[in-house]
Structure formats: C-alpha cells, structure tokens
Amino acid sequence: MTILILNASPRQQGNVSRMLLAMKEEAKNANVQVDEVNIQDLYIRPCTGCMVCREKSECRLPEDDAQRVLCKINSCNLLVIGAPCYWGNMPGTLKLLFDRIVYGLISKGNHGFPRPLHKGKHAILVTACTTVFPFNWLFNQSRGTINSIRSILKLSGFKIAAIIEKGGTGTSLVGEKELAHCRKAIRRFLKRHDQF
C-alpha cells in the first residue's frame, strides 16, 4: 500500500497543509508508505496544447517534474490531493500539472470517448476556503474546487473515497475537529482495504 499526497497549497503551515499532515501521520502510524509532493516546489513547463500526447501517450516537451509526479501517481494505491480554493477552483499550479499529464490519466477510447487509465484506484480530496459555511457550498467556492478536481479524477478512473471541505478559514487555523476528520478518512480507507 502506497499513499501519494499532492499538496497544492503554497502555505506549508496553512490549513490545507495541516490537514494533509494529519493524514500523513495517521498513515505512517499504520505503517503505510507515504510519499508527499509539494506542487509549489515543482518545475513544470506549461502545456502547449499540441495534442501530440493524445496520439503518442507521451509529452513532447522535455521531461520535467510533471512526468516524475505521473510516475508516482501510477504507482500509488491512494491519491490524496489537498488544494486551497482559488476563485472557486484549484490553484493554477495544480491545474498546470493536470494539463501536462493528461495522457497518463486518460487515453483515447472507442469513438473518441476518454478511456480511464486508473480504474480501481482511490482518491481523497481536501480543500479549505475563506468563505464561511454554507456559502462556501452555495456560492460554489470550496465546492467548485472539489468539483473541478473530482471531474479530472473521475474521468481518469479514480473512485473518490472521501471529501473534506472546510470553509471560513480566513482568520483561523483548522481545529482538532477537522484534523480528526482527516485522520478518520485515512483510517476508514485503510480498514476497507485490509491495512489495519
């Protein structure tokens, strides 16, 4: 069992990072291998939209951190993605990664429909936003972030094992209640997959 955590927050002491750390510690306490990638630290060239990767199943740009992260995604059993809410969406750095590895997430299926390349894998999604509950849902803020990431992962074949959304984080750090919820999501996943 390998868990890959993608942290798309630029704030390593922020709310998303704190929630991901709680999940990482819970997994390590269960003797599960955890690999963590801070998206902010990666060097990824922007996608040029050439579409060559759709035909050749590889990016024509010189190798960079995008391909290295794709290798980690290919070998993980559980993908945990933490992303703060930026204008009701994921941060651009995470979107850039997804743009560059599309060929490793889906391929061309019959009649042009996308064929998922990660069937049977699972994902947990984590987000935080400054908009308070329930407006973070009603105004599609944290919900927009989750929906944009979820649509990419679902097309790629991932099953969403848990979603953790925290609104109203503009002036405070997440509390023990939210961190406990994060730890519980990992415990549940590991229990379902006979890791306890």
Give residue-wise pLDDT tens across range 58-101.
999 999 999 999 999 999 999 999 999 999 999 999 999 999 99
Answer whether 77's CB lies under 8 Å from 2's CB: yes
State the chain's mean pLDDT as an integer. Answer: 92
Predicted local distance difference test score (pLDDT) of residue 196: 47
Rounded to whole angstroms, how far apart are CA atoms 87 and 43?
A: 23
Predicted local distance difference test score (pLDDT) of residue 134: 75
Give residue-wise pLDDT tens across range 142-158.
889 999 999 999 999 99
Give residue-wise pLDDT tens across range 172-193.
777 888 899 999 999 999 999 8
Tell me which residue has tokens 């390593």: 12
- The tally of CA atoms less than 13 A away on the side-chain side of residue 101 is 26
Predicted local distance difference test score (pLDDT) of residue 195: 56
Give residue-wise pLDDT tens across range 103-136.
999 998 777 788 999 999 999 999 999 878 877 8
- Superfamily of domain covering 2-192: Flavodoxin domain (3.40.50.360)
Predicted local distance difference test score (pLDDT) of residue 55: 84
Question: How does DSSP classify residue 41?
Answer: G
